[in-house]
Amino acid sequence: MKRGAVAGWDVTRPRVPSRTAGVSMAGFHSRGEGPIDVRVVPHPAITLVLEFGNGPLVVDTATGRQQRGNLVAGFLHNAMRVRGENIECLQVRLSPLVARTVLGTSPSDLDHTVVTLDDLWGKDATQLQEQLGETTSWHDRFALTEALLTCRAAKGPHADPRVAWAWNQIAATRGQARIEDLAAELGWSRKRLWSRFRSQIGLPPKRAARLVRFDHAAHRLATGESPARVAAESGYVDQSHLHRDVQTFTAVTPATMVTQPWLAVDDLAWTKPAAKAPAPA
């Protein structure tokens, strides 16, 4: 296992990637230094939280709604608050290309919302939570979760290869791909690309590109790069454009955003090299 410690959390990651493409996992354990209270910035993935510790994990969304327990967070438009004490949970990030397959519902149904996993998986969610609680090693917890995800991925519907190509292009260019060029490459109208992309990915193409671009910029800012350089190299018109995007997604300024502890955890647990997008079928 790969381990780290950031902002009150012990973080554990699997040593090998998931067998299911587009799936990443990490385990989180609060270190007993008092209650955890952090902000979660939006991310271009669907997030599962499997909670099995002694204390409840509570999520306060930007709309004021509160959720706890096993949760699924769709594409967020604003930062949300995560708090609790004596928390132990396993977090799964799902690429939108595999989210519909694994979850059994379209990511579009989860846009800007947090729901309980029990609502989507029923007894599978309850059984997995019990098994994770009875297991003492992260290796076994990852293996249990991997087995269920693999089983569900084998049975669920898969994304249209052309839609998958468009998403991969957006991800590979860090949100700077021109949507008009993607539609032309596929031989589709913009309306057709919008409709198919929205129904399978969960976001319209331009919103997806904006979220991917923000995520890349946020991580560069977190490493200490200047906002001016990040804006210039990340596809923003100017620094004020970057500033507005950060405020839209996080409700804080770039200077404040990079001090938020969850961003550091996110960087520790999920950063990986960008994959090159394959040619369309």
Say whether 135 sits in a helix, a strand or coil: coil
Tell me the pLDDT tens digit for each residue of 181-198: 999 999 999 999 999 999
pLDDT range class, residue 126, cuts 50, 70, 90: confident
Q: Which residue has the higher pLDDT, 247 or 66?
A: 247
Tell me the pLDDT tens digit for each residue of 8-54: 678 888 988 898 889 999 998 887 667 777 888 888 999 998 988 77
Ramachandran assignment for 130, one of left (phi > 0), alpha (psi -120 to 50 degrees), beta (any other): alpha
Q: Which residues of 121-130 are buried (b: 16+ CB within 10 A; e: fewer)?
A: beeebeebbe
Give me the mean pLDDT over the 220-247 stretch: 93
**What is the token pair recorded at 263?**
């961003």
Contact status, residue 52 vs residue 188, Cβ threshold 8 Å: no
Query: In this predicted structure, what is the pLDDT of residue 269?
Result: 56
108 secondary structure, DSSP code: G
pLDDT range class, residue 275, cuts 50, 70, 90: very low
Superfamily of domain 2-155: Jelly Rolls (2.60.120.10)
Tell me the pLDDT tens digit for each residue of 192-225: 999 999 999 999 999 999 999 999 999 899 888 9
Give, to the nearest 10 degrees, the angle between helix 205-222 and helix 261-270. Answer: 100
The CATH number that domain 161-270 falls under is: 1.10.10.60
Q: 2-155 and 161-270 share one CATH topology?
A: no
Please give the single-letter amino acid code of residue 270.
W
Domain-wise residue ranges, the chain? 2-155, 161-270
